[in-house]
Amino acid sequence: EEPPGAAPVDFLRELPSCQSVRRRRGGTQERRPALLGTATAARAPQPERGEMADRPAREHPECMAEKRRIRDFQQADMEYLPKWKKWRTTSNKSLKKALDEVKGLSSYLVLWRRDIHSIEGKFGAGIQSYFSFLRFLVLLNFILFILMFSFVTLPIIVSEYGIFNSTVAYISPKNIEDICTVYEPSGNKGLVYFYTYLNDLLSGTGFLEVTSLFYGYYTVDAVWISIMRYNLPLAYLLTTFAYLALSFLWITKRSAEGFKHNLVHDADPFQSYCNKVFAGWDFCITDPNAARLKHRSLLYELQTDLQEEKLKQKIAERTTKEKLRICSLRIFINIIVIAILSGCFYSIYRITVFSQENSNVSIRNDTRTDVNLLVQYLPSMVITLANFLAPLIFSFLIKFEDYTPAFEIKLTLMRCVFVRLANIVVLLFSLWSQISDCGADKCKPCGYNYKLYPCWESDVGQEMYKLMIFDFIVILAVPLFVDFPRKLLVTLCSWKLIQQFGHQEFEISDNVLQIIYGQTICWIGTFFSPLLPAIATIKYFIIFYIKKMVLIYTRKPAARPIRASSSNFFFLVVLLIGLLLAFIPLGVSIARIPSSKACGPFMNFNTSWEVIPDKILQFPTGLQQVLFGMASEAFAVPFFVILCIIMVYVVALARAHKRVVEQLREQLVMESRDKMFLIRKIAEAQRH
Amino acid sequence: GAMGGSASLIPRDLLGEYQELTFLSKQEILLAYKRFSELLPKEERENACSARVPKSQILTLPELRANPFQHRICHVFSTSETRDDSMSFEDFLDMLNAFSDSATSDIKSYYAFRIFDFDDDGILDRKDLEKLVNCLTGQGEESRLSSAEMDQLIQNILEESDIDKDGTINLSEFQHVVSRSPDFASSFKIVL
């Protein structure tokens, strides 16, 4: 058909849709050709009047003088409104003003506002999203700490100082074999060497074991505050659920806001060219060097994407023989990956068992000075080594699998995430295999290996504590001993080899995975060690400044640009995966493994979970029946069926909407062709 | 300090009016006033509210000096009758308003459209898109896409955003495609 640009262009300028864009300030109309000038000039301001009323003046994309005019018009119109409407509009306005004031003031309270702003100006929004993420984690951990502290530790501290006439009722063992309750933590035994203190600080044993840092301290049945009874075991369990739920809701809310994924259209919004071109430039960059780097990375990204598109076409044209070859190659490489992973998990299991055996033996023989710190930290070291080697091996292997570059990056990332999170789970399960090691009647009276682990929750807490401390040490040591010397070498020594390999990029994904790994440890460990979020808060606080220094002094520009929105989404999704993964070990230890009978708030219960059914049995009968009814099958099955029906309905609705959108799009194309045709006809008619 | 000093230079009712007509908070308006008056020579700083700053001075602001769209920004927001792209304080506030965090996406996409419309004809055609991509990749011969790559890129862009298939992108198509762009809100932002 006729090419679209063939119609005379001046007609197009008359159209109302064009006029609404080109409305100049002060109403300069001289661009219009003389032909339809007078008719349209009279008509143009009219639609303005109608749409003015529903939006406040500041939402109109006009210059200040125009906005003043609009506001005056709106105020004049308001005179004719009924009294109650006037009152409502004025009160809305004053409410909005008050909210704006509060927002303005609260922006001062935002942590690190200036630091992140300067990072954004110098390095762009992609790297800034990493630091915003760190800030979010500091806040999250701080809130978790406040939660755990105020509901679990504070009542005990209050009662120790006797404030409000409070007393503590310690748990007296009921129906428990005496042998299960033997637990002698070696707390302060008088004069000890300073070396022992350091040892204890780093491994959570000794004097730390009896503090409120670990589970074993909370052997409290209730706290009496004047005449009110505060049920500590119930509070402990419910606070655990509360902090997990709070983390889940906060992360979900954060990943939902600022990311509006339109599910109607099929295209991937992150990969779209329009996103890269129209939203490609970070307007917040203030540094000319950063701007130059941004130009380069945008050029690189656009070229890579265009090449990738050509590659995709080539892939689609592959012969069946080629496809078979590549498929078998991929299966082979995946088998290698699985083999590597299994080797990794098995070594973690063996090392954990070895470390536990050796530390326990020395404690039993009371030769505590022989406890080798190295042996204690062996599991942490192996996990950190595995986390370091896995990305290197995976990025080497994936080159053979012949994927498109974008997919390569995604797949390697997914594999690294899996390795990091699975390592923690494997460590925990190997610990549990030790604790529940019931061969040769080792756990007959108590349900768990009471001789080696009289207070097993504290032991698990200690392992989590060690993991966290070691992670922190590694994050401190790597910049000090690797990054800064490397940068020094590169600046001082001008050999070509060093120049090529010495430069180091600020790898966002690696850094993010590292802190998510730390956060997962914190979530799992808080049940066993209630004050762990405080340590995590301090840790992330210090990490912010360290990473900022590393960035400023040693960073080399990354070739592949990092997009802020996809990074944000990626961080939060992986964080969510970490949280959901944390549910598993916690669920198992709360509900399945018998709680230790020698320490802790759940001494008199079979498992930690039993506090809740115990409490429910004390409720009035009506409420009890309702609650038990909700947990039974008679409720669950219809509930599940109703959920399925709702989901099917929503999916059908979405599909219907999609069909309508496609039809409307086709209609628009038709209308545009009609418009061109009519304009051409008019032009022809005018010429005759 | 400096903040208190500049507060006494903007009349209170004018400050309130600016707060009502823009999305900027009081602190942001005062900071904008301070930065704007620093661009003026000392004698004119008393009347900063009604003075006009020439384009060359505006472009010395750190927020604009590294920006490839600096000329377009000055052109779009300037209300100068003499077409010299000079900006008054109110133009400056309009600019910060469009780029602020709390501005609606309607306003942002409208002004983005105006900025990207290099020939000011109300639509984005191939020439506008070519100039836009060249701005993104940088000035200089070696930092441009080859013509084949450029054609392929513009073809892809038009495929994604040109709904009525007339070979150009008008305002509503632009607003539609930008509303589904996850990066737009965070990249189209200038905070002093």
A264-284: per-residue pLDDT in tens? 455 566 667 888 899 888 898
Backbone phi, psi, residue A262, to 5°:
-85, 110
Query: Mind telling me how many Å the CA of B165 is from chain A's nearest CA?
Result: 6
Asked if A452 and A329 sit in the same domain, the reply is yes
Question: Measuring CA to CA, which residue among A180, A186, A220 is closest to residue A203?
Answer: A186
Percent residues over pLDDT 90 in chain A: 19
For residue A170, give the 3-state DSSP assignment. strand
Calpha distance A250→A539 (Å, rounded): 21
Backbone phi, psi, residue A14, to 5°:
-75, -20
A223, pLDDT greater than 70: yes
Give me the half-sphere count of Cα atoms (radius 13 Å) on the Cβ side of residue B122: 17
pLDDT digits (tens, 9 = 90+) for A441-482: 666 777 777 777 888 888 889 889 999 999 999 999 988 888
Cβ <8 Å between B67 and A291: yes
Query: Mind telling me how many Å the CA of B180 is from chain A's nearest CA?
Result: 6
Query: Mind telling me how many Å the CA of B56 is from chain A's nearest CA?
Result: 17
Q: Give pLDDT, residue A80.
A: 79
Asked if A504 and A361 sit in the same domain, the reply is yes
Structural contact between residues A579 and A251, judged by C-beta atoms closer than 8 angstroms: yes
Inside any domain, residue A55 = no
User: Which carries the bigger pLDDT value, residue A411 or residue B98?
Assistant: B98
Q: Give pLDDT, residue A367.
A: 44
Arithmetic mean of pLDDT over chain A = 81
Chain A CB contacts of B20 under 8 Å are 57-58, 71, 97
Structural domain span for residue A634: 630-661
Calpha distance A256→A312 (Å, rounded): 31
Structural contact between residues A40 and A19, judged by C-beta atoms closer than 8 angstroms: yes
A306, pLDDT greater than 60: yes
Chain B CB contacts of A303 under 8 Å are 145, 149
What residue has token string 């009609």? A674
Tell me the two tokens of residue A10. 């001046």
pLDDT digits (tens, 9 = 90+) for A350-395: 998 888 887 765 455 444 444 577 788 888 889 988 988 888 888 8
Give residue A30's pLDDT band: very low, low, confident or very high (50, 70, 90): very low
Helix axes A456-478, A194-203, angle to 10 degrees: 100
Inside any domain, residue A673 = no
pLDDT digits (tens, 9 = 90+) for A397-437: 888 888 877 788 778 888 888 898 889 889 888 888 888 87
Characterise A21 by phi-psi region: left (phi > 0), alpha (psi -120 to 50), beta (else): alpha
* Domains and their CATH numbers in chain B: 12-99 (1.10.238.10), 105-188 (1.10.238.10)
Nearest beta carbon to residue A277 from set B25, B97, B136: B136
Give residue A660's pLDDT band: very low, low, confident or very high (50, 70, 90): very high
Give residue A43's pLDDT band: very low, low, confident or very high (50, 70, 90): very low
Asked if A190 and A92 sit in the same domain, the reply is no
Inside any domain, residue A29 = no
Structural contact between residues B123 and B174, judged by C-beta atoms closer than 8 angstroms: no
The conformation of residue B124, written as its DSSP 8-state character, comes to: B
A28, pLDDT greater than 80: no
Could you tell me if A668 lies within 8 Å of chain B, comparing CB atoms?
Answer: yes
Query: Mind telling me how many Å the CA of A501 is from chain B's nearest CA?
Result: 25
Asked if A541 and A642 sit in the same domain, the reply is no
Asked if A644 and A496 sit in the same domain, the reply is no
pLDDT digits (tens, 9 = 90+) for A502-555: 666 677 778 888 889 999 999 999 999 999 999 999 999 999 999 998 888 877
Q: Give pLDDT, residue A242.
A: 94
Calpha distance A274→B104 (Å, rounded): 20
Asked if A467 and A453 sit in the same domain, the reply is yes
Q: Give pLDDT, residue A541.
A: 93
B79, pLDDT greater than 80: yes
Q: Give pLDDT, residue A360.
A: 64
Could you tell me if A94 lies within 8 Å of chain B, comparing CB atoms?
Answer: no
How confident is the model over B39-46, as a mean pLDDT?
81
Asked if A544 and A399 sit in the same domain, the reply is yes
Asked if A183 and A318 sit in the same domain, the reply is yes
Asked if A160 and A72 sit in the same domain, the reply is no
pTM above 0.90, yes or no: no
Tell me the two tokens of residue A318. 């592959």
Chain centroid to Cα A545, Å, comes to 20
For an interface test with B, the pick among A13, A21, A118 (most B C-beta atoms closer than 10 Å) comes out as: A21
Give residue A47's pLDDT band: very low, low, confident or very high (50, 70, 90): very low
- Interface predicted TM-score of the whole assembly (ipTM), two decimals: 0.92
Inside any domain, residue A652 = yes
Inside any domain, residue A40 = no
Inside any domain, residue A47 = no
Backbone phi, psi, residue A391, to 5°:
-60, -35
Give residue A27's pLDDT band: very low, low, confident or very high (50, 70, 90): very low
Q: Cβ of A172: how many Cβ atoms within 10 Å?
A: 9
A298, pLDDT greater than 90: no
Helix axes A288-316, A405-435, angle to 10 degrees: 90
Calpha distance B113→B81 (Å, rounded): 22
pLDDT digits (tens, 9 = 90+) for A51-78: 555 778 888 888 888 888 888 888 888 7
Structural contact between residues A576 and A582, judged by C-beta atoms closer than 8 angstroms: no
Asked if A325 and A373 sit in the same domain, the reply is yes
Q: Which long-range contacts (CB under 8 A, 24 or more apart) does A411-414 make?
A: A413/A509, A413/A570
Q: Quote the number of domains for chain A.
A: 3
Q: Which of A109, A138, A166 is the last residue of a domain?
A: A109
Calpha distance B186→A568 (Å, rounded): 11
Q: Give pLDDT, residue A181.
A: 77
Chain centroid to Cα A599, Å, comes to 34
Inside any domain, residue A2 = no
Asked if A231 and A163 sit in the same domain, the reply is yes
Nearest beta carbon to residue A669 from set B93, B104, B164: B164
How confident is the model over A223-236, as a mean pLDDT?
87
Query: Max CA-CA distance within chain A?
Result: 113
Percent residues over pLDDT 70 in chain A: 84
Calpha distance B104→B97 (Å, rounded): 10
- Residue B181: CB partners within 8 Å, gap ≥ 6? A269, A272, A274, A275, A278, A279
pLDDT digits (tens, 9 = 90+) for A553-608: 877 666 566 666 667 777 888 899 999 999 999 998 898 888 888 888 888 888 88
- Residue A525: CB partners within 8 Å, gap ≥ 6? A460, A461, A464, A465, A467, A468, A532
What residue has token string 């494997």? A426
Calpha distance A471→A465 (Å, rounded): 10
Asked if A425 and A314 sit in the same domain, the reply is yes
Inside any domain, residue A23 = no
